[in-house]
Amino acid sequence: QLCEKFTVCQNSMEMLLRNNLNLPKVTEEDGFCLLKRTVEDKCLRKISSGLYTFQTYLKYIQETFTSENQNVESLSFSTEHLAHILRQMVVNPEEVIIPDAATQESLHTKLKSTTAWTEKITIHLILRDFTSFMEKTVRAVRYLKNTRSFSV
């Protein structure tokens, strides 16, 4: 009855609003790689850390969305490569946050423990946020490439 009355069933659209995946995001507070070297470094650090974090989510998609396994594997490899390149551009590369094995395993276990419907929504949310993250990454890299002696 609660499910019908308040529409908070596991397979309701309400699940979309309860996105508790904590996916990486680039915000204005992170800087847009503009103006000062310190802001640029902070932005590159945030982007590289975010790309490394997305690796666990992409691994989940690769295992779950098996019909697109090869495409997701290629996307994952390219994402890791870009994260590595950007990490090398940070003043102190060790400041880039790379999730450790225990953190990755914990997240992976949490992602795997979903129902079939929630699994589809989870994949959708991950890909939507990954697309947004990559759009901001491309803007930042393009800006740096056009305004500094910068090559990617």
pLDDT digit string, tens, across residues 45-66: 999 999 999 999 999 999 888 8
Q: Evaluate if pTM is beyond 0.85.
A: no
CATH, range 35-147: 1.20.1250.10
Instruction: Produce one character per residue of 112-148: b if its CB has 16 or more CB atoms within 10 Å, e if not.
Output: eebeeeebebbbebbbebbeebbebbeebbebbeeee
Mean pLDDT of the chain: 80
Q: Work out the pLDDT band at 120, boundaries 50, 70, 90.
A: confident
pLDDT single digits (tens) 11-37: 555 555 556 777 888 766 655 565 555
